[in-house]
Amino acid sequence: MRILVVEDDINLNRQLADALKEAGYVVDQAFDGEEGHYLGETEPYDAVILDIGLPLIDGITVVEKWRAEGKGMPVLMLTARDRWSDKVAGIDAGADDYVAKPFHVEEVLARVRALIRRAAGHSSSELTCGPVRLDTKASKATVDGTPLKLTSHEFRLLSYLMHHMGEVVSRTELVEHMYDQDFDRDSNTIEVFVGRLRKKLGVDLIETVRGLGYRMQAPSEAG
């Protein structure tokens, strides 16, 4: 899962990015509204954390532009605690949720998880596919209750496929959501990670859809 953090406070931006990375997300960072708008317009994100009070272009204008351009990624707005009007304006502009400053990073992470789940059509923090269970809150996965030892890339791959269970996901889409903007992306590496993940899962849940990509679903749902 790939997140964009748009916050001009360097320390807060870094704090949020570090917490997100520790939770298993890929993170891109922007420090003004112009850069943030550009990244959100040109790169695919599973969610965006967007401050209202940004230099060059304010956060409300940024989210308005994204929505006018047809960008539907979930947006969590950061607002000032005493400015209720900012919260209303942010939601009306197209933001999906807000957190008032100062805040606990854990609350931001919880709201991001919820936004991503809802966007993918899931209501629970635990996703299940056959014997595989993914705990999005703890960033852990198990098979029949046995913890899986996954690398960060393997976990991101499993997480993305399970959030999009039953859907065919292309290699390109996986690359775009598993690596940040500065990574030297190569879609051929996805096949390697899929192979490793299949071995670790020990169950046949990831289907190769020839010429299109991969689909994850429980055996009873196949066909």
Would you state the pLDDT for residue 122?
A: 85
The two structure tokens encoding residue 216: 């994850």
Amino acid in position 124: S
Q: What is the pLDDT of residue 181?
A: 66
Domains 2-119 and 126-221 agree in fold? no
Which residue matches tokens 């635990």?
126
Kindly report the CATH class assigned to 2-119: alpha beta
| Helix, strand, coil percentages for the chain (3-state, nearest 5) | 45, 20, 35
Q: Indicate the angle between helix axes 171-178 and 188-201, nearest 10 degrees.
A: 80
pLDDT digits (tens, 9 = 90+) for 132-181: 999 988 889 999 999 999 998 899 999 999 999 999 999 989 988 887 76
Reference 162, options 186, 202, 190, 131; nearest CA is 131
Domain coordinates in residue numbering, the chain: 2-119, 126-221
- Regions in the chain scoring below 70 on pLDDT: 81, 181-187, 220-223
DSSP secondary structure code for residue 213 in this structure:
E
Instruction: Note the pLDDT tens digit of each residue in 96-111.
Output: 999 999 999 999 999 9
User: CATH number of the domain at 126-221, out of 1.10.10.10, 3.40.50.300, 1.20.120.530, 1.20.1260.10?
Assistant: 1.10.10.10
Distance of CA 215 to the CA centre of its chain: 18
